[in-house]
Structure 1
Amino acid sequence: MSKKPISFGKISLNFTKAKEFNDKNEKKSPAGFGTFGRTPIQEQKEIEEIADDLESQHVEQVMGIKNFGKKAKNFNLDELVEQAKKTAQEANKKRLEAELNADRNSSSDDQVGNTIGPTLANVDEEISLVNRIPNTHEVEMHHGSKAVIALAADPSGARLATGSIDYDVSFWDFAGMDSSMRSFRTLQPCENHPIKALQYSATGDSILVVSGSAQAKVLDRDGFEVLECVKGDQYITDMAKTKGHTASLNSGCWHPHIREEFMTCSQDGTLRLWLTENPKQQKSVIKPRQQGGLKTNPTACTFSRDGNTVACGCFDGSIQMWDHRKNFVNTTTLLRDAHQKQTEITSIAYSYLRQHLATRSNDDTLKLWDLRNFKKPIKVFADLFSRYEQTDCAFSPDDSMVFTGESLQRGQEVGKLIFWDTKTFEQVNTIEVSSSHVIKAMWHPKLNQIFVGCGNGVVKCYYDKKRSLRGAKLCIIKTHRKKDTIEVVSTQQIITPHALPLFRQEKLRTSKKKMEKERLDPVKSHRPDLPITSGQGGRVAASGSTLSSFVIRNLGLSKRVNDEQDPREAILKYAKDAEENPFWVAPAYKKTQPKPIFQGSDEEGPSDPKKSKTS
């Protein structure tokens, strides 16, 4: 059955009834003189043509448009759609062929499949894992002389914070630094406690500082303190009854989605969840347990990427997880003997796709786990020596690699950062970082840059000139310039001899004369008040302000003593009177005091030192 074409025409008036009505009237009308004026037009076609002409003339006069109101053409929509499809396919084919030719010209080694034009997945597969690591260039930043065991970058990648065992936290602003790579602020937020962990919040407006003390702190972006967690009562046995930690902290992190929540773990055997609104008491207390039910110390803690799971690695070698949406009484996932007992699990890291988990321990291993079958590790990377309790491990932004740092053993000279493939478990690359331990390592997903903290106080940044963005690349192009000395240029003086005194300017003098004049002015030179020797210049010494005048005044003398005279002479004037008429000391001991016997002048020569003393 053939489809009817769709037509877009003009709606016209129906004159058939009017024609029948006119015909009837003509038949009924009597014969007479005939009709006056023009002969009436009977045909409907002619009436429509005249109406169209009048309408088009009117539109032309008003709007200036000709040929308006003509009958529309008929269109077949199916044919139009087919024609548009063919045109689009041809244009797309030409564009894909042009891209294919450009890719072939740029790299002859690339192999293109049967599909026309490379897709995004094909492009990622073509770039090898070694080339995905941004390590074509490197930059050094000097934090200090001690080991950098804490490292944090804000989510936007504009700032970096480093913490060390020398108690300092340094802030680095990539947009404000030059090629000298100096930090814009260094402070000691926790006094004499090493900085164990740093992390920026999800919004980047605050930073969590975990130190060796029992109290974590939150600073703002510029390093000023926002809050300090309360310290618990160390004499209470049940750790759930205290309001805070009672022993030194081990680690801490922010919740990935709840802006005001963070977590800390401590040597008191607890994990505590805090809210920034109430630092005087924790929100929740989690107590990990050993095999027999005794407490164990959590050494590393983290949230899952979706924030629904709290995970920690404990000193007994276990990995324990709780559901964040429920109470923290029972674990949702518990794996005993994940690592060797009595060794610290230094780091726990979730993959970006939430399928894998990586754990690093001081038993010289890095283990990769599949969260869907969390019973045995899918791969164990051994012989990775670690000296510090903060040695890090992490995933690449596309989850294709896992990496960690290695500490120096006896005889080794270079600390290394090692990368493995998460699918084949083969070693992808090894970066020789520094002549010291490699402790912290972080691959920023937005900047595509790797930051590494070393044991000698050096922080290294690795980046790719083509695939990395901003970050350290902003600092390299800036050169450090010394500040120019400010030269004082005297303003031009306009001499007006007949000006009024109010508007008259002083004659300009040299800077030396001006400085001498200001030196004589006690207000401009800020001269302190001179000591008071006597009443002069309107300033008089207060009566009894000196010790000697106070003693003389309080001896009960009737006469007023002048403060300007020598106090010794003033006292000796009354020596004769005191001897003849004793008033203070002598009358009190007159009856009991024996008569003093003084050495006479008749004895000549020195006394015999060997003469025995008589009692």
Structure 2
Amino acid sequence: MEMDDPDVGAVMGFSGFGKKARTFDLDAIFEQTRRTAIERSKKVLEKEQCPEESVESPPRAGSSGSVTEKDQGIASSSSDDGSGGEDSDSSGSDLIGPPVPASLSRLAIEEQACDTDDRASGDTDDDEEEDEEDEDDNPVKRIPDSHEITLIHSKKTVSALGLDPSGARLVTGGYDYEVKLWDFAGMDASLQAFRSLQPCECHQIKSLQYSATGDVILCVAGSAQAKVLDRDGFQVMECAKGDQYIVDQARTKGHTAMLNSGVWHPKIKEEFITCSNDGTVRTWDMNNEKKHKNVFKPRTAQGKRIVPTTCAYSRDGKYIAAACQDGSIQIWDRNMNVHTKFYNRQAHAPGSDTSCLSFSYDGYTLASRGGDDTIKTWDVRNFRNALNVATDLPNVYSMTDCCFSPDDKMLVTGTSVQKGKGSGKLLFFDRETFVKLYEIEVTDASVIRCLWHPKLNQVMVGTANGLAKVYYHPVKSQRGAKLCVVKTKRKVRQSQTVTQDYIITPHALPMFREPRQKSTRKQLEKDRLDPVKSHKPEPPVSGPGRGGRVGTHGGTLSSFIVKNIALDKTDDSNPREAILRHAKDAEENPYWVAPAYVKTQPHAVFAVVELEEEPEDDEPEWKKRKL
């Protein structure tokens, strides 16, 4: 049924139910909002352009009224379109009264804060840029030598120095056959090594280096077998020794003569190389200690065997370089061990021992420290002529180092001196011009090893008088020596036990072989439980006694009587006379026996028993027996 007639709804009563629903024109509302936003933006821009006028001359009432009327006109037009009156009221109430001064508006405050931040950051950036420009102009300021600490290794030469990649531990080795481990985070101001060992018995330590991961140490000594130690100094691997009676060294499984140097591969953590007096350079794999991996045989110009004095990997690990006793430097491709990739026969003076080869961080420059008192740099891409040469740098030791600075702009090396004739110096050269920029007088002995760690920004130096010095800067350097110099010395712990020295007997029979000593602390704890080693006093004996020891007296009545009466030694006279001394008193005043027999036997009668004498018989004993 359709209700076309409006009177029908009135008759039925439908016209009185509720109010008519409100309708909104969204287009009109959006248009009003857009206009309001445009006008407010114009006001803000006008205030920003002339803030002085808005602050000094407050707005007139008429002007504010005109704005309100304008807004009300917009609101009325929107209400005519169908919007409610509430919007007009709210838009009009927002602009009642004088506007807020521009200096106190939120936008102005934010802009002012941004300006101050920009100025401050600009000042700091300018200062940093100035500092960087000063350092670029004067590279000496980048050398961390304002502070130093001295680690005493021994009284003999420190011939090996190594620092792990993180810079937490330092390892030193010397002519005293010892290897010492130093932990910067665990040391205090006393600067004592936490472990000392002799991994190669009576062979001088020539090279020590941490692997790329820092978990193992390559130890190269004067023997023919290199060893790999863990971070605590215990042996992990020992290279095989070759047969001395085989002429072709490529057919033996290892070196047959004294080692000269050894380094880890910069990328592959299980691979390292060693060079020896047998005239070979061998690569090794930690997973196979029974035989070498590859053999490189340097040759003279006539094709004869020559001894390599030092070896090195390139930064990317693709090339292997070796310096030989004939003054040549030969470089092989790691995967091709027959022919050399680059070589220079007249790199240094023939017959001198080139002590070090070091590649720059960019991988194109090679620095060589010669035994002819020179240091040279070479371009690997053009290996015929040296880039730069520095002379008059005394070099007595075959382990004298040279290294590049972390920014790859300086070259560092040490000089040797005779005993009592000057001081050993650490020299810094500009890489491009080879001008000596700076020098440090280290000590009154030769400077052999030097190492500039890129992460710590600290310089480590090993000297011929048994010292290992660390140079650092309190601001430019990080961790390392800064961790231990601030710690106070710990009190010396008095050892209450006497431990026996650990004697190494490698060829002893299994029944006589002593177990490997793992830790001094565990050995002390074990010896503390041993009453003989700890000299534990014997406890008092309770009871009658045991083990040949008599117990304490007075525990029982009999022991008390024995101690106080029987063992009374106050009367030193004759015991018979001491007894007869009381005979008269006992007869006149009986106390023990006589009173008991007073009534029954007043007069004592003692029975006298006479023993019958047996007749003498001369018959033998066997006749008296009855058969």
Distance in 1 (CA, whole Å) between partners of 2:303 and 2:546 is 80
The residue aligned with 2:140 is 130
Q: Which amino acid aligns with 1:361?
A: G
Residue 245 of structure 1: how far off its partner (Å): 0.5
The residue aligned with 1:255 is 265
Taking only aligned residues, the RMSD between alpha carbons, in angstroms, comes to 3.8
> Which of 185, 190, 205 is residue 195 of structure 1 equivalent to?
205
Distance in 2 (CA, whole Å) between partners of 1:469 and 1:73 is 59
Distance in 2 (CA, whole Å) between partners of 1:353 and 1:283 is 28
Residue 253 of structure 1: how far off its partner (Å): 0.5
The residue aligned with 1:118 is 129
Q: 1:596-615 alignment to 2 at 5 Å?
A: none
The residue aligned with 2:333 is 323
Q: Which amino acid aligns with 1:125?
A: D
Distance in 2 (CA, whole Å) between partners of 1:197 and 1:214 is 13
The residue aligned with 2:176 is 166
The residue aligned with 1:375 is 384
Distance in 2 (CA, whole Å) between partners of 1:171 and 1:208 is 13
* 1:473 maps to 2:482: yes
SS at match of 1:250: strand
SS at match of 1:345: coil
The residue aligned with 2:316 is 306
SS at match of 1:398: coil
Matched-pair contact (CA < 8 Å) for 2:409–2:431: yes
Residue 305 of structure 1: how far off its partner (Å): 1.1
Distance in 2 (CA, whole Å) between partners of 1:216 and 1:146 is 22
Q: Which amino acid aligns with 1:406?
A: T
* 1:418 maps to 2:418: no
Distance in 2 (CA, whole Å) between partners of 1:262 and 1:522 is 63
Q: Which amino acid aligns with 2:146?
A: T
Q: 1:19-30 alignment to 2 at 5 Å?
A: none
Matched-pair contact (CA < 8 Å) for 1:262–1:274: yes
* 1:98 maps to 2:120: yes
Aligned in 2, Cα 1:410/1:470: closer, same or farther, shift over 3 Å? Answer: closer
Distance in 1 (CA, whole Å) between partners of 2:5 and 2:307 is 123
Structure holding more helix per residue? 2
Q: Which amino acid aligns with 1:375?
A: R
Distance in 2 (CA, whole Å) between partners of 1:390 and 1:282 is 24
Aligned in 2, Cα 1:307/1:87: closer, same or farther, shift over 3 Å? Answer: farther
The residue aligned with 2:615 is none
The residue aligned with 1:213 is 223
The residue aligned with 2:240 is 230
Unaligned residue ranges in structure 1 (runs of 5+): 1-24, 53-68, 80-85, 105-111, 488-510, 525-615
Distance in 2 (CA, whole Å) between partners of 1:30 and 1:246 is 123
Q: 1:59-98, CA deviations, whole angstroms, 9 ceiling, x for partnerless residues?
A: xxxxxxxxxx99996699xx9xxxxxx9999977644531
The residue aligned with 1:574 is none
Q: 1:543-595, CA deviations, whole angstroms, 9 ceiling, x for partnerless residues?
A: xxxxxxxxxxxxxxxxxxxxxxxxxxxxxxxxxxxxxxxxxxxxxxxxxxxxx
Residue 30 of structure 1: how far off its partner (Å): 7.8
Q: 1:292-311, CA deviations, whole angstroms, 9 ceiling, x for partnerless residues?
A: 11121111111111111111
> Which of 133, 140, 151 is residue 150 of structure 2 equivalent to?
140
Distance in 1 (CA, whole Å) between partners of 2:113 and 2:297 is 65
* 1:240 maps to 2:250: yes
Residue 178 of structure 1: how far off its partner (Å): 1.6
Residue 120 of structure 1: how far off its partner (Å): 8.9
Matched-pair contact (CA < 8 Å) for 1:385–1:409: no
SS at match of 1:118: helix
Matched-pair contact (CA < 8 Å) for 2:411–2:428: yes
Distance in 1 (CA, whole Å) between partners of 2:307 and 2:413 is 23
Q: Which amino acid aligns with 1:187?
A: L
* 1:182 maps to 2:185: no
The residue aligned with 1:266 is 276
Distance in 2 (CA, whole Å) between partners of 1:34 and 1:295 is 124
Residue 461 of structure 1: how far off its partner (Å): 1.1
Aligned in 2, Cα 1:233/1:417: closer, same or farther, shift over 3 Å? Answer: same
Residue 480 of structure 1: how far off its partner (Å): 2.0
Q: 1:114-141, CA deviations, whole angstroms, 9 ceiling, x for partnerless residues?
A: xxx7389647526x32221111111111
Matched-pair contact (CA < 8 Å) for 1:100–1:118: no
Q: 1:382-421 alignment to 2 at 5 Å?
A: 382-409=391-418, 412-421=421-430
Larger C-alpha radius of gyration, 1 or 2?
2
The residue aligned with 1:341 is 350
* 1:451 maps to 2:460: yes
* 1:436 maps to 2:452: no
Distance in 1 (CA, whole Å) between partners of 2:495 and 2:158 is 39
Q: 1:344-399, CA deviations, whole angstroms, 9 ceiling, x for partnerless residues?
A: 11000011122321100111000022334322111111011111110000011111
Unaligned residue ranges in structure 2 (runs of 5+): 42-107, 497-534, 550-627
Aligned in 2, Cα 1:411/1:476: closer, same or farther, shift over 3 Å? Answer: closer
Residue 417 of structure 1: how far off its partner (Å): 0.7
* 1:155 maps to 2:165: yes
Distance in 1 (CA, whole Å) between partners of 2:537 and 2:214 is 55
Q: Give TM-score scaled by structure 1 length.
A: 0.64
Aligned in 2, Cα 1:203/1:91: closer, same or farther, shift over 3 Å? Answer: farther
Q: 1:52-71 alignment to 2 at 5 Å?
A: none
Distance in 2 (CA, whole Å) between partners of 1:236 and 1:337 is 31
Count of aligned pairs: 438
Residue 485 of structure 1: how far off its partner (Å): 6.9
Distance in 2 (CA, whole Å) between partners of 1:375 and 1:101 is 50
Distance in 2 (CA, whole Å) between partners of 1:226 and 1:72 is 83
- Over the matched positions of the two proteins, sequence identity in percent amounts to 48
Aligned in 2, Cα 1:90/1:118: closer, same or farther, shift over 3 Å? Answer: farther
Aligned in 2, Cα 1:92/1:522: closer, same or farther, shift over 3 Å? Answer: farther
Q: Which amino acid aligns with 1:158?
A: A
Matched-pair contact (CA < 8 Å) for 1:232–1:245: yes
Aligned in 2, Cα 1:49/1:177: closer, same or farther, shift over 3 Å? Answer: same
Q: Give TM-score scaled by structure 2 length.
A: 0.63
Matched-pair contact (CA < 8 Å) for 2:389–2:434: no
